[in-house]
């Protein structure tokens, strides 16, 4: 058995010696587009589980409604855009992983803003503040 | 075919992800290509190594008491105590107790069981695995490029507060200035 | 007659604790196997596996049967493990400890009872190999380590892995490819030179195999 293990290891070594590694990765991004206002309103069932977090994070805003949800495959280094309700677009580029973090770039072209981030997977973060219909848009972002 | 393509095809065959027709084509190529065969052999060796290693980790574990530890953390059904019969007055009183109190106590137990069940059904699920983990944490901002008129504000989560998160704010100038535009050159702080 | 997982889950949903016990007994090793692969610590893995079953019990009413029970269970195990890593990473202030932590650190994890006892020299080589593999797995990201365990050790299909990790099929395939490559890369520094003799013996093995 040990011989088989060592031979297996040798074959792995051989493989490593012959072939350079190339990045070939992608990530999945979930984007929830939320409309927040300072008016009272019912809790959107789609957001029930994060309602208290939204209220805490976006103090002053009392009503949150999910307008759209996107699930995007992000191949490495390829930008994908989503259309926002305010006719702007938001772009996302997956830039690869660094140990336990994923690198992602978020851009809002019309506002000429570009942010490069390192995100541990499965951690929600937000982009907020674009005005919309008496309130603001919040993008809840979740990278897998 | 590049090395990368060859490895990808070998992986798909190895993982059983090819259609029957694709697999037949691949198998015909195997006979002619020692490189493809080497790829497959390497994939198999890697898998065998990992399986052997992981099997050892599991076989060495002790599962005595595993279920008991799980069970200890589960809600237990509320036990229903039988009523104590009154002392000393004999069978007729005991029979009266049994006839009168037992149905009442059984009903109470049923109500308690229903309440427990309703509570369990209506309580928010302890986990929904489709949900993101809302905890805050170390989202690191590497670079911000802002060539537009908006102000970018990054609010970072509060340490040890699992509910706080990173927010990248895009704000119009009126959101940031307290109603006063500094004149050119004036220190706004 | 042995009940299927669906039947056992249905019984659990009706409050049958014995059915839950059967499910735990059936899947505890597999749950532990995934947990120890991700967490690389037996105590943490045991805790995570137990926590996963507690979550299964608490949420069994919400299980609709859209997926198989074991992919649902594995998803919970993976999520519990990743939560654990994140919470403990904060407390450590250093990069997550890659070394395999055991109470009896000096001993090699014993093999199953039906293998012949190894000669001391062979036992030493196996211990070294185990150390190399532990280190190599530790160098992978959580996502890559998870996906390679689910595929190579648990034998899940791409579709099942996509269910467990809640991602697209394309993402599974590319991540698996990337993970396999990274594992090979991680093994490389420990196999070239470094005086362990493993590379030399492996090379001889390769020449014999291919001659």
Verify that C157 and C200 share a domain, yes or no: yes
Rg (C-alpha) for chain C, rounded Å, is 20
Q: Which of residues 105-134 of B touch A (CB under 8 A)?
A: 124, 128, 131-134
B137–C53: do the CB atoms touch at under 8 Å?
no
Confidence band (pLDDT; 50, 70, 90) for B145? confident
Domain assignment of residue C41, yes or no: yes
Report whether pLDDT(B78) > 70: no
Residues of A in contact with B136 (CB under 8 A): 123
Domain assignment of residue C92, yes or no: yes
Verify that C86 and C134 share a domain, yes or no: no
A to B CB pairs, distance under 8 Å: 137
Report whether pLDDT(B112) > 60: no
Verify that C175 and C206 share a domain, yes or no: yes
Report whether pLDDT(C88) > 80: no
Where is the domain boundary, C51, C67, C102?
C102
Q: Calculate how close chain B gets to A130, using CA atoms only, in Å.
A: 6
Mutate to test the interface with A, among C166, C172, C189, C200 (most CBs of A within 10 A): C166
Top mean pLDDT of A9-23, B165-179, C45-59, C178-192 is at C45-59
Torsion of CA B137, B141, B146, B152, to 10 degrees: 20
Q: Among C24, C58, C157, whose Cβ lies nearest the Cβ of B126?
A: C58
Could you tell me the CATH number of the domain that includes residue C141?
Answer: 1.10.10.10
Report whether pLDDT(C200) > 60: no
Q: Which of residues 20-49 of B touch C (CB under 8 A)?
A: 43, 46-47, 49
Ranking A90-94, B42-46, B91-95 by mean pLDDT, the lowest is B91-95
Q: What is the pLDDT of residue C191?
A: 55
What does the alpha-carbon distance between residue A14 and residue A17 come to, in Å, rounded to a whole number? 5
Number of domains in chain C: 2
Verify that C54 and C2 share a domain, yes or no: yes
Where is the domain boundary, C49, C67, C102?
C102
Q: Structural domain boundaries of chain A?
A: 24-143
Could you tell me the CATH number of the domain that includes residue C81?
Answer: 1.10.1740.10
B63–C29: do the CB atoms touch at under 8 Å?
yes
Q: What is the pLDDT of residue A115?
A: 92
Question: Regarding predicted confidence, which is higher, A28 or A123?
Answer: A28
Q: Structural domain boundaries of chain B?
A: 3-59, 79-123, 132-179
Verify that C24 and C92 share a domain, yes or no: yes
Verify that C13 and C94 share a domain, yes or no: yes
Name the H helices within chain C. Answer: 5-13, 17-39, 42-59, 69-92, 120-139, 142-148, 158-165, 169-191, 198-210
CB neighbour class for B40 (10 Å; exposed up to 12, middle 13-18, buried from 19)? middle
Q: Among A3, A73, A144, whose Cβ lies nearest the Cβ of C205?
A: A3
Domain assignment of residue C110, yes or no: no
Q: What is the pLDDT of residue A25?
A: 76
| Domain B3-59 bears CATH identifier 3.30.300 | no
CB neighbour class for B118 (10 Å; exposed up to 12, middle 13-18, buried from 19)? exposed
Q: What is the pLDDT of residue C105?
A: 32
Q: E-assigned strands of chain A?
A: 26-37, 63-75, 79-83, 89-98, 101-108, 113-119, 125-132, 135-143
Q: Return the closest-CA partner of residue C160 out of B16, B153, A123.
A: B16
Verify that C69 and C162 share a domain, yes or no: no
Report whether pLDDT(C209) > 60: no
Q: Calculate how close chain C gets to A96, using CA atoms only, in Å.
A: 11
ipTM of the complex: 0.74
Q: What is the pLDDT of residue B82?
A: 52
Q: Return the closest-CA partner of residue C22 out of C41, C35, C9, C40.
A: C9
Q: Say if residues C196 and C131 touch (Cβ distance below 8 Å).
A: no
Domain range for residue C209? 118-211
Verify that C8 and C98 share a domain, yes or no: yes
Confidence band (pLDDT; 50, 70, 90) for C122? low
What does the alpha-carbon distance between residue B131 and residue A143 come to, in Å, rounded to a whole number? 12
Q: Return the closest-CA partner of residue B12 out of B40, B46, B37.
A: B40
Residues of B in contact with A124 (CB under 8 A): 132-134, 165
Verify that C6 and C89 share a domain, yes or no: yes
What does pTM read for this prediction? 0.64
């Amino acid at each position: 058995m040990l011989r088989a293990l060592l031979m297996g290891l040798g074959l792995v070594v051989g493989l490593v010696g012959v072939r350079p590694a190339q990045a070939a990765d992608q990530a999945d991004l979930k984007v929830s587009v939320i409309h927040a206002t300072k008016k009272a309103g019912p809790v959107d069932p789609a957001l029930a589980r994060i309602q208290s977090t939204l209220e805490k994070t976006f103090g002053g805003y009392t009503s949150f409604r999910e307008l759209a949800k996107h699930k995007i495959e992000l191949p490495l280094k390829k930008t994908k855009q989503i259309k926002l309700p305010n006719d702007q677009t938001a772009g996302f580029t997956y830039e690869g992983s660094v140990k336990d973090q994923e690198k992602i770039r978020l851009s809002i072209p019309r506002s000429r803003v570009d942010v490069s981030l390192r995100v541990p997977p499965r951690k929600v973060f937000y982009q907020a503040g674009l005005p919309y219909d008496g309130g603001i848009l919040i993008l809840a972002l979740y990278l897998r | 075919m590049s090395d990368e393509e060859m490895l990808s095809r070998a992986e798909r065959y190895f993982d059983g992800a090819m259609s029957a027709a694709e697999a037949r084509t691949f198998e015909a190529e195997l006979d002619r290509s020692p490189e493809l065969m080497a790829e497959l052999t390497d994939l198999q060796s890697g898998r065998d190594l990992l399986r052997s290693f992981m099997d050892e980790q599991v076989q060495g574990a002790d599962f005595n008491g595993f279920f008991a530890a799980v069970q200890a953390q589960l809600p237990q059904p509320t036990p229903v105590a039988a009523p104590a019969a009154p002392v000393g007055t004999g069978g007729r009183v005991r029979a009266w107790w049994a006839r009168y109190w037992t149905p009442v106590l059984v009903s109470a137990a049923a109500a308690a069981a229903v309440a427990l069940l309703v509570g369990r059904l209506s309580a928010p699920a302890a986990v929904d695995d489709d949900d993101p983990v809302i905890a805050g944490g170390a989202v690191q901002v590497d670079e911000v490029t802002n060539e537009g008129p908006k102000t970018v504000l990054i609010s970072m989560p509060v340490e040890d507060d699992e509910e706080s998160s990173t927010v990248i704010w895009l704000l119009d100038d009126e959101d940031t200035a307290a109603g006063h535009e500094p004149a050119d050159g004036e220190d706004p702080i | 007659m042995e009940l299927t997982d669906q039947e056992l889950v249905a019984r659990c949903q009706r409050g049958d604790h014995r059915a839950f016990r059967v499910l735990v007994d059936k899947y505890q090793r597999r749950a532990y196997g995934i947990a120890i692969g991700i967490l690389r610590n037996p105590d943490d893995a045991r805790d995570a596996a137990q926590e996963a079953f507690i979550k299964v019990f608490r949420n069994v009413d919400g299980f609709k049967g859209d997926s198989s029970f074991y992919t649902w269970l594995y998803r919970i195990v993976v999520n519990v493990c990743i939560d654990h890593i994140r919470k403990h990473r904060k407390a450590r202030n250093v990069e997550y400890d890659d070394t395999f932590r055991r109470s009896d650190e000096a001993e090699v994890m014993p093999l199953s009872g039906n293998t012949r006892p190894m000669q001391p020299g062979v036992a030493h080589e196996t211990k070294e190999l185990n150390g190399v593999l532990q280190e190599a797995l530790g160098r992978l990201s959580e996502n890559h380590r998870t996906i390679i365990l689910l595929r190579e050790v648990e034998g899940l299909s791409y579709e099942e892995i996509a269910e467990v990790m809640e991602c697209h099929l394309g993402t599974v395939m590319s991540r698996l490819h990337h993970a396999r490559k990274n594992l090979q890369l991680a093994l490389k520094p420990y196999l070239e030179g470094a005086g362990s003799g493993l590379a030399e013996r492996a090379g001889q093995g390769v020449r014999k195999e291919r001659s």
